[in-house]
Amino acid sequence: FHNSIIFLETPEGERAGKPYKLEKVDADLSQLREVGIFEKARGLILGIPYRYTKQMKQEFYRLVLERLKDYDFPILANVNFGHTDPIITIPYGAQAIIDSEAKELRIEI
């Protein structure tokens, strides 16, 4: 994951059509931190949380920012990939640039 941009999304919850529990997001982020996934990352892109209410989304983003506050990389949130409609395809291994000033993501294929 050296110099990588990490893509994360929330899957479906324990039952089909239900959102993934925030407690699980917290545990997942903690595990990723523990194994060093974010140590050498250059950025993070978050998919639109699946089936989250407005309040759940706010709590999700607060949780992500709190858990990743020790890292110095841009975070782009609410991107249409993963369990979303419409959905964009993000090719693995492609060159990607997060421009936080322009608020854009560029993928070079």
Angle at 32 between CA 29 and CA 34, to 5 degrees: 110
pTM over 0.85: yes
Q: Of 6-20, 41-55, 84-98, which range is least confident?
A: 84-98
Tell me what pLDDT residue 67 has.
97
Is the separation of the CB atoms in 7 and 90 below 8 Å? Answer: yes
Q: Is 21 left (phi over 0), alpha (psi -120 to 50) or beta?
A: beta
All domains in the chain, ordered by first residue: 5-108 (3.50.30.60)
Tens-digit pLDDT profile for residues 8-23? 999 999 999 999 999 9
Q: How confident is the model at residue 89 (pLDDT cuts 50, 70, 90)?
A: confident
Nearest by Cα to 51 from 96, 85, 92, 87: 85
Q: What is the DSSP letter of 73?
A: S
